[in-house]
Structure 1
């Protein structure tokens, strides 16, 4: 199996498959009502909607980097503002996250195999995720998706308690 095949398989499994640790990203997000998405749980740093936009913005940034752009903070920001709660807006955020991951999947499948081991910038900056190979960059984004889906699952349960 090629690196592209392995990475794409892992991405698809985490997003909508049957990962060994539990529910996929989309199965968790799709259970969140728009009211819960915009509610800030007591003591929480972010709402679910903010986390989804954060995941979206970093996925876009990884796409940009794999397409040869210089590494930076995401164009839409690290933690984009969600604006006022709105049901259609919530559905758009979820659909946008799915669409950007479809684009990422397509890029991964067509990425030149010899470029997976190339470094993303030579200097290691953990906050920006630089100084890693293209393969490590995608693996890091997959881990990022898993991490934040766990937060979303917990916040979803907490917001149900306070309703």
Structure 2
């Protein structure tokens, strides 16, 4: 199995497969009630909609970096404001997140095998996660998705 196939399989496993640690990201999202999406529980900094916006932004940013763009924060910011509750906007956010990950999966599958261990075209900046290999970039996004998926599950449980 090629590096592209392994990394994409890993991404797909945590998004929609059967990861060893529990429910996948899409199952977690699909079980969130709309009523819980914009609620920020006491002691929390973010709500569910805000976390998914953050995850979407970094998925898009990672895809752009894989396609050779210089690194930066996501176009909409690191933690964009999700705004006021809007069920149609919530459904669009979910669809955008899923589509962004489909797009990234295609970029991973098409990535040249001999470039996975090459550094991205940025200097090392730990806060932005730049200057790592393309493999580390994708592994980091997978870890990022897992981390925030746990937050989504917990916030949904608190709200429920």
Please give the range of the TM-score, normalised by the shorter of the 2 chains. over 0.9
- Local SS of the residue matching 1:126: coil
Q: Deviations along 1:72-103, whole A, 9 cap, x unmatched?
A: 11111101111110111111111100000000
Aligned pairs, number? 160
1:10 is matched with which residue? 10
Q: Is contact 2:3-2:116 (8 Å) kept?
A: yes
Task: Note the 1:53-64 alignment, pairs <5 A.
Answer: 53-64=53-64
- Per the TM alignment, residue 33 of structure 1 is displaced from its structure 2 partner at its CA by 1.3
Q: CA RMSD of the aligned region, Å?
A: 0.9
Task: Note the 1:1-163 alignment, pairs <5 A.
Answer: 1-121=1-121, 123-160=123-160
Moved over 4 A (4+): none
Q: Is contact 2:70-2:122 (8 Å) kept?
A: no
Stretches of structure 1 lacking an aligned partner (at least 5 in a row) = none
Q: Deviations along 1:96-131, whole A, 9 cap, x unmatched?
A: 000000000001000111111111245321210012
Q: Is contact 2:11-2:142 (8 Å) kept?
A: yes
Query: 1:121 and 1:66 mapped to 2: Cα distance?
Result: 10
Larger strand percent: 1
- Local SS of the residue matching 1:70: coil
TM-score by length of 1: 0.96
Q: Deviations along 1:26-63, whole A, 9 cap, x unmatched?
A: 00011111110100011001000000000000000000
- Local SS of the residue matching 2:44: coil
